[in-house]
Amino acid sequence: MPRLRLNISMSLDGYVAGPNQSLENPLGEGGEALHEWVVVTRSFRRIHGSEDESGETGADDDVMAESFANLGSSIMGRNMFGGGPGPWAAEPWKGWWGDDPPFHHPVFVLTNHAREPLEMQGGTTFHFVTEGIEAALERARQAAGDGDVGLGGGAEAARQYLRAGLVDDMQIHVAPVLLGGGARLFEDVGDVRSRYEPLGLVSSPAVAHYRYRRVT
Amino acid sequence: MPRLRLNISMSLDGYVAGPNQSLENPLGEGGEALHEWVVVTRSFRRIHGSEDESGETGADDDVMAESFANLGSSIMGRNMFGGGPGPWAAEPWKGWWGDDPPFHHPVFVLTNHAREPLEMQGGTTFHFVTEGIEAALERARQAAGDGDVGLGGGAEAARQYLRAGLVDDMQIHVAPVLLGGGARLFEDVGDVRSRYEPLGLVSSPAVAHYRYRRVT
């Protein structure tokens, strides 16, 4: 069965987005610093269409490549798709992933508001799921083929899957950033102590990557 | 002026002690796992009296040695001294640091209950301070001579000094441990985002060490 793999960047003080998230500032105040280690990697540039040899290699690049490897579908919260509350507009916007999103597979977006699937360039189709996290996971597993299901956030989506005990593997990337507030990851997530086994950590001077596997 | 240096181990989910701390279980359930990286280092064994070459060297040992270097005095909360609430008994116990505590300098213990200083072997004297964190810091600075003042915990003592903006340097050791509850470090600690500058991180396979310096 496809595994549900959570991959998310977190500040040292435990936040996966800064305070005051908004349409203009989707990562919250200071939140972009969580992802500085990502955008400099060669794998990130490749995923975003670069065909040259630019970008850094090394431990972070290896982790970044692995986090995207062997995924057949993904799940994300509405905040991570495009933010904003309430019903979709008559001509709703297409999220902040651009015309050719980096997923290249079906993406299931958790929302309370139904919407037709949105087919983008490059193989990414956003499906909007209103029936909750278990329905989204079921559909994502069916769509994943031989691959796994990726889960990246936002905080509320990640917390819901953790709380329900549905995350099989997780890799938490702790950046040396203090945000002082925002969206916490490890808050009301159930008994993670007995549920997960640590598989060690690797790090660069920019970020440390902590890996866990579900044992129960 | 002597700097106040916070050195503390934290779980990935943000706790510096596990749930249900007690006299029998001072680190809380699972909390001892936070310190596994410490007790295997050569520096830790030396500090605790070992004169042989046992214990591991490497990044963690270097950090451990540095965290104890050039300290002229220390501050800790009552929980870290010996736990337990309320007035001291007629013949109060001497804490859980043994007859020859590893500090070898004056240690100022934050408490609401006055008590005579407690002189141990090896140069450690515990002074019990009932006038609050600023008075304790003032006394610790006077006692530190040319050294700095160390602060190790517990959580409440660390949070109080962070909230008051009195911590000059901090090094947070994030172990690949999930505790699922307990005493959080970064909770109600004020504007750490603008107050601290990250100075990078180093890690071993066992723990990552994050370093910060106060900028305002």
If pLDDT is split at 50, 70 and 90, which confidence band does B5 have?
A: very high
pLDDT higher than threshold 80 for residue B194: yes
- Across chain A, mean pLDDT equals 94
Q: Which residues of A touch B207 (CB under 8 A)?
A: 201
In tens, the pLDDT along B97-147 reads 989 999 999 999 999 999 999 999 999 999 999 999 999 999 999 999 999
Calpha distance A153→B20 (Å, rounded): 31
A interface with B, Cβ–Cβ < 8 A, is: 12-14, 18, 29-30, 172, 174, 176-181, 185-186, 189-194, 196, 198, 200-203, 205, 207-208, 210-212
Q: Tell me how close the Cα of B184 comes to any Cα of chain A, in angstroms.
A: 10
CB-nearest to A210 from B176, B201, B211 is B176
Helix (H) / strand (E) containing A175:
strand A169-175
Percent of chain A, pLDDT > 70? 100
Listed residue (B203, B209, B181) closest to B29, CA to CA: B181
In tens, the pLDDT along B165-184 reads 999 999 999 999 999 999 99
Asked if B176 and B12 count as a contact pair (C-beta separation under 8 A), the reply is yes
A83-97, B2-16, B198-212: least confident range: A83-97
Dihedral angle of Cα A50, A54, A60, A63, to the nearest 10 degrees: 30
Cβ atoms within 10 A of the Cβ of A55, count? 17
Domain B4-18+57-87+99-214 class, CATH top level? alpha beta
A196: nearest CA in chain B?
B178
- Across chain B, mean pLDDT equals 94
DSSP assignment of B72-103 equals EEEEEEHHHHT---SSPPSS----SS-SS-S-
pTM of the model: 0.95
Residue B41, amino acid: T
For chain B, the first-to-last Cα distance in angstroms comes to 16
The single residue listed with the structure tokens 């901090």 is: B170
Alpha helices in chain B (DSSP H): 36-39, 42-47, 59-68, 78-81, 133-144, 155-163, 192-195
* pLDDT value at residue B79: 87
Percent of chain A, pLDDT > 90? 81
* Burial (CB count <10 Å: 0-12, 13-18, 19+), residue A121: exposed
Residue B166, amino acid: L
Q: Is there a contact between A201 and B176 if contact means CB atoms under 8 Å apart? A: yes
Q: Tell me how close the Cα of A171 comes to any Cα of chain B, in angstroms.
A: 11
Q: Can you tell me the ipTM of this complex?
A: 0.94
Helix (H) / strand (E) containing A193:
helix A192-195
pLDDT higher than threshold 90 for residue A157: yes
In tens, the pLDDT along B33-66 reads 999 999 999 999 988 888 888 899 999 999 999 9
The single residue listed with the structure tokens 């505790």 is: B179
If pLDDT is split at 50, 70 and 90, which confidence band does A150 have?
A: very high
Domain A4-19+26-86+148-214 class, CATH top level? alpha beta
CB-nearest to A180 from B12, B174, B191 is B191
Q: Which residues of B touch A201 (CB under 8 A)?
A: 176, 203, 205, 207-208
Calpha distance A167→A135 (Å, rounded): 14
In tens, the pLDDT along A47-99 reads 888 888 889 999 999 999 999 999 999 999 998 998 778 899 887 788 889 99
* pLDDT value at residue A116: 94
Q: What single DSSP character describes residue B32?
A: G
* pLDDT value at residue B162: 97
pLDDT higher than threshold 80 for residue A199: yes
Q: Which residues of A touch B14 (CB under 8 A)?
A: 13-14, 186
Segment B61-83 mean pLDDT: 93
Computed on alpha carbons and rounded to an integer, the radius of gyration of chain B in Å comes to 16
pLDDT higher than threshold 80 for residue B83: no
Calpha distance A176→B176 (Å, rounded): 15
pLDDT higher than threshold 80 for residue A108: yes
DSSP assignment of A2-61 equals PPEEEEEEEETTSEEE-SS--SS-TT-TTGGGGGHHHHTBHHHHHHTT--SS-SB-SHHH
